[in-house]
Structure 1
Amino acid sequence: MSFDPATLVYDARGLIPAIAQDAETGEVLMMAWMNAEAVSRTLDTGRVTYWSRSRQAFWIKGETSGHVQELVELRADCDRDCLLLRIRQTGPACHTNRRSCFYTRIDADGRETELMAPVHD
C-alpha cells in the first residue's frame, strides 16, 4: 500500500504537528509543523523538512545550523492528525542549542527547573 500525505488530517491552516524523537534513545527532541508538501519532501529526501509558520516557508532541519535530522521512520497517530518522526539527530535539536526543546520541567507547585544547558561548539 502506498502512502498519500493527503490522507492525513491537517488543521485549518493545512498543518499537522510533527514530533521529532531520537530513533535510538526514544528521547523527544522537538515539535514543529508540517504541511503535505513538507511530508512529501521529507519522505523523498530522508532529510526532515518542516513548515515555518513565522517565515511562511519550508525549512530543512540543519540546513543552516548543520544540526541535521535524518528520517528513520515516519508514523501517523490513530486519528492521523499528528506525526511522529523517528530520526537520527546531528547536534542539538533546539534553536537554543540544547539537545531537546523540552528542557524545562514544571513541577506541580509551579516551580520551573532547567534540565539542560546549551551545548557549546
Structure 2
Amino acid sequence: MDPMSARPSNLDPKIADRLKRTEDGLVPAIAQQYDTGEVLMLAWMDDEALHRTLTTGRATYWSRSRGEYWVKGESSGHQQWVKSVALDCDKDVILVKVDQIGAACHTGDRTCFDADVLEAVVGERNDPGGP
C-alpha cells in the first residue's frame, strides 16, 4: 500500500519526504515527559497525525484498532501538551516531548511501562580508570 495515498495529509512535503514509514504508512512515536525524561508511551502517527501534532500543540496519534485519529486526553482529560518533536537518525521513529497531564497509559498508570517490569541482570560499566 502506498502510504501517501492512504489518507490525505497537510504535512509539509519537506518533512513527509524524510519519513520512513511502515507498509501501512505509519511511524512509531514515543512520548516522553519533557522535563524528567520519563518515557510515557508508544503510539503511531501517519503524516496527518504528525501534521496535527506539529501545528496544534497537542499530541495526535493514529489508532490502528479504531482506524481514526485521537488527540491524547481528549476524552480522558489526560492531555499531552507538545514541547518538542524530533526524528531519530534513521527517520523512522518520532520523539514527542510533552507535558503529560495525569496518566499516559489507558490503564490509568502514569506510563505504559509501569505495570510489567521484567527481571533483568543489571549491567555495570567498568571504571574508566580501571582495567
| TM-score band w.r.t. shorter chain | 0.7 to 0.9
What value does the CA root-mean-square deviation take over the aligned residues? 1.4
Q: Which amino acid aligns with 2:100?
A: Q
Structure-2-length-normalised TM-score: 0.79
Q: What is the rounded CA distance, in whole Å, between the counterparts of 2:38 and 2:16 in structure 1?
A: 25
How far residue 7 of structure 1 moved from its aligned partner, in angstroms, is: 1.7
Tell me if structure 2 keeps the 8 A contact 1:5–1:40.
no
* Aligned position for 1:98: 109
Any idea what the Cα deviations from partners look like across 1:1-55, whole Å, max 9, x if unmatched?
Answer: x852332111100000000000000000000000000000111101000000000
Q: What is the rounded CA distance, in whole Å, between the counterparts of 2:105 and 2:57 in structure 1?
A: 20
Larger fraction in strand: 1
* Aligned position for 1:119: none
Q: Which amino acid aligns with 1:65?
A: S
Structure 1 stretches of at least 4 aligned residues deviating more than 3 Å after TM superposition = none
1:63 has 2:94 as partner: no
Aligned pairs (5 A) from 1:74-85: 74-85=85-96
Tell me if structure 2 keeps the 8 A contact 1:6–1:36.
no
Name which of 18, 40, 45 aligns with 1:7.
18
* Number of positions where the alignment pairs a residue of Structure 1 with one of Structure 2: 108
Tell me if structure 2 keeps the 8 A contact 1:93–1:101.
yes
Q: Which runs of 5+ in 2 are unaligned?
A: 1-11, 122-131
Name which of 99, 117, 126 aligns with 1:88.
99
Q: Which runs of 5+ in 1 are unaligned?
A: 110-121
Which one has the largest radius of gyration?
2
Distance 1:27 1:76, change over 3 A: same
